[in-house]
Structure 1
């Protein structure tokens, strides 16, 4: 490995839904080292999804030394550090800096009743002020649920963090967030650039507990002596704010100009389009992009790689089989089956659904099974069903005249050439594969912008976001999938009431 001058490498740390990853890159965007460890998600009750933030900090203390070792670097060669994580994940601390309760994740569905109530009472106002509609994924309904079911936790809360900000505070001891995360709480007045008293009142939440605002590239502090000892970092290393994972991934993949599209095949599946202003609509979600002056409009399906992993864990893991080998076998099997999986359809609603239905009571299903179908057909149907769900999402953009003809693809699912081609054919969009797609990569780039390694965000993306493969839609497959998608939609509509009845019967 070639020598690296002092303090020219950048570190990005990302909290994913199932793991935490630390990545180190140099100023050309080359990945020098990385490490990841799993994070346990707890579901103590149906529809709940929580994590212990202390597990995130333990993961940082584990992965930082591993990444430095792989890179062949010392902690003193890291010029700056930044962070990302999923939006909508609040961390509550009391006045002594102690955690009040576990963090409620973005895919938690407990606040379905609160979301419906907020929509019925205040839907138009919430959309006008917060740019988005209430759903269980947002912090506003989560806080209303807490006010009703855990009032002691609300009374004890002195500071609210969003996930990446709490983790970053373990390094610096500071308290702040960026505007993308603020919009993600659904407690922020974007037009007036401030926390909204009106939205906070809807959740019975004290606005004084919400953090100060900075830009994603602001240097918010330095690694403290205690944090350096615990995590294997160098005391005094600059720490840059960072932003939420979808914003940072869009930027890191190179989608940095109006009209650029991004498809994400991760725990959730999403499609986003970059624009100069928010495109406010009940079925779409708006955030500021990591690039100043730009927004991205995004919406998605709840279960993507999580459905893929569910299928692997339940049906593909035999004695002595590793997780990676099982994923590889699913991919191999899916490639052996013709488009359409011989009439087997999959709706991936394993944890309710976001766009376009916003319905936590929907359930997953396989439709059209026969004796002919085997593991290969189910593997293909998983890939196609998730792609159809993304088509359902993309149609919301097209209804608002926001079409895309090319999109960069990110997330763990982007590693599969078969899945990339299916997505290209189902969406009828050319799919571009960046060389590096991790949120931790985008976080490292923002760290570089923050300390001046790159002159600005566009320069960082131009220098480091490289496309290594393309999947072009096949016209015959596009036409076939267009017909099959109609059947997929018809089956979804026909089963919606059945899903609701099953959810009511089983509680």
Structure 2
């Protein structure tokens, strides 16, 4: 019987459970989807009980399939960021459905607070570069304003993985990476800011204790063991926010490393000893799960979720791979069709949460492949803008060398997305053989470090293999020039449309 750790990865689309061995190999994994509801503009919600149900089912399915071949020695979690679960004195969630990272209901509280200024100072203190209403401290303001009865009963605000950790161990805490997405975390001091909490009038007692990501916070309780099939008493480490766990799993364990994440949303990330901050482009920064490092990133919100929407709308939800083959057969420029993929709102650089997506240039001759090609190119143009800013923070490669930028996430499975990005970035892209497991590998690494099975992350680096490498095609640079101009014009149009149609009530009921 070989020792492994269990990595639990709570993503936007569902929960993954993976067994990771001491050689940083995912020996078995399973995935259980859960839904997101959209009850009103700007409201994106999930049920914590769905997270727990996914954990229970994925653990049981994984352990049943493993049939006792491996012994689980620790558990580590990765969880999607900026979720807010208010819990009461007994640890139970006080809301059946809670706001997740992309939910902007905190915008009214943020707008009121920053009406007299101070937003740039807040950004440079926290590195919180997503649209401000997404951050937990402003969602907490919404809770106090809209549900004062629940706020009065709230004892803690927990993030996604922290709520699951509490179900596993009975211990309520968080780690620096998740805390750094709260809206009230001082990046340079690496602590929750008493000054910001006082300014935002949010009780300090609502925020759980912050411990290192590799800290063993407790063990699997008898109740959790009965539900999941895990042995009681297995150590559980604090884990980290998905952005930082994915960065670790993608190889960002030292300064200067970079990767692209292609999922429901997309981002380009660099690791460094200092945060990358710019009040204009607003990179978002999280504390890393490794000490002494930050991860800084720029994102685009139109990603896999927009592609899934298109496939479903076209009746192609069950054959996305075939749809992408048709997109690959379409020419650069999608026969004159342009897509701005911000269907669920944009980042600050993309126009903010009120902006929406668009197809421009549609005619009766366009095919499914043209629609998909235009969307892929729109994602590529948006991400290329972000990459230009962030890759400038990565040391230039020596003359004659062309190191590939790592690409991870579900969007890295297909060649077309990687090829479009390689063309637009003029950099090789490489998908590691475990690209779809980056966050789980990061969570597993934290568990292995936490119980002392690893002394450093060298096994993670040694295990990396390239499954696919895509080189840029410089001969197509001219072919992308006109589609790029069309995209810029289309994105400007969506910004003007958002400005003309936005109302003060766009993000609240």
Tell me the TM-score range normalised by the shorter chain.
over 0.9
- Check the 8 A contact 1:397/1:403 in 2, yes or no: no
State the Cα distance separating 1:257 from its structure 2 match. Answer: 2.5
State the Cα distance separating 1:18 from its structure 2 match. Answer: 1.4
Q: Of residues 111, 114, 119 in structure 1, which corresponds to 2:109?
A: 114
- Check the 8 A contact 1:260/1:406 in 2, yes or no: no
Residue 53 of structure 1 corresponds to which residue in structure 2? 48
SS in 2 for 1:136: helix
Is 1:312–2:311 an aligned residue pair? yes
Q: Distance in 1 between matches of 2:4 and 2:497?
A: 54
SS in 1 for 2:82: coil
- Check the 8 A contact 2:340/2:359 in 1, yes or no: yes
State the Cα distance separating 1:355 from its structure 2 match. Answer: 4.1
**Shift in alpha-carbon separation, 1:330–1:505, aligned structure 2, 3 A:** farther
- Check the 8 A contact 1:269/1:390 in 2, yes or no: yes
Q: TM-score, normalised by structure 1?
A: 0.92
Residue 320 of structure 1 corresponds to which residue in structure 2? none
Q: Distance in 2 between matches of 1:160 and 1:462?
A: 35
State the Cα distance separating 1:273 from its structure 2 match. Answer: 1.1
SS in 2 for 1:287: strand
State the Cα distance separating 1:503 from its structure 2 match. Answer: 4.2
Please list every run of 5 or more consecutive structure 2 residues that lacks an aligned counterpart in the other structure: 398-402
**Shift in alpha-carbon separation, 1:249–1:370, aligned structure 2, 3 A:** same
State the Cα distance separating 1:390 from its structure 2 match. Answer: 0.8
RMSD: 2.2
Residue 443 of structure 2 corresponds to which residue in structure 1? 443
Q: Distance in 2 between matches of 1:477 and 1:90?
A: 45
Q: Of residues 357, 365, 371 in structure 2, which corresponds to 1:364?
A: 357
Q: TM-score, normalised by structure 2?
A: 0.92
**Shift in alpha-carbon separation, 1:16–1:179, aligned structure 2, 3 A:** same
Is 1:185–2:179 an aligned residue pair? no
Show the 5 A alignment for 1:92-491. 92-101=86-95, 102-120=97-115, 121-133=117-129, 135-282=132-279, 283-317=282-316, 323=317, 325-397=318-390, 406-437=404-435, 438=437, 439-456=439-456, 458-491=457-490
- Check the 8 A contact 2:300/2:347 in 1, yes or no: yes
Q: Distance in 1 between matches of 2:487 and 2:153?
A: 47
SS in 1 for 2:32: strand
Q: Distance in 1 between matches of 2:482 and 2:313?
A: 31
Aligned length: 494
Q: Distance in 1 between matches of 2:275 and 2:106?
A: 26
The one-character-per-residue Cα deviations of 1:49-105 (angstroms, maximum 9, x if unpaired) are 11111111111111101112333336x711111001111112110112221113211
State the Cα distance separating 1:285 from its structure 2 match. Answer: 1.1
Please list every run of 5 or more consecutive structure 1 residues that lacks an aligned counterpart in the other structure: 318-322
Is 1:14–2:9 an aligned residue pair? yes
Q: Distance in 2 between matches of 1:104 and 1:73?
A: 38
State the Cα distance separating 1:382 from its structure 2 match. Answer: 1.4
- Check the 8 A contact 2:105/2:134 in 1, yes or no: no
State the Cα distance separating 1:295 from its structure 2 match. Answer: 1.2
**Shift in alpha-carbon separation, 1:259–1:406, aligned structure 2, 3 A:** farther
- Check the 8 A contact 1:407/1:430 in 2, yes or no: yes
Q: Distance in 2 between matches of 1:236 and 1:179?
A: 25
- Check the 8 A contact 1:143/1:203 in 2, yes or no: no
State the Cα distance separating 1:34 from its structure 2 match. Answer: 1.2
The one-character-per-residue Cα deviations of 1:219-242 (angstroms, maximum 9, x if unpaired) are 111111111111100011111111
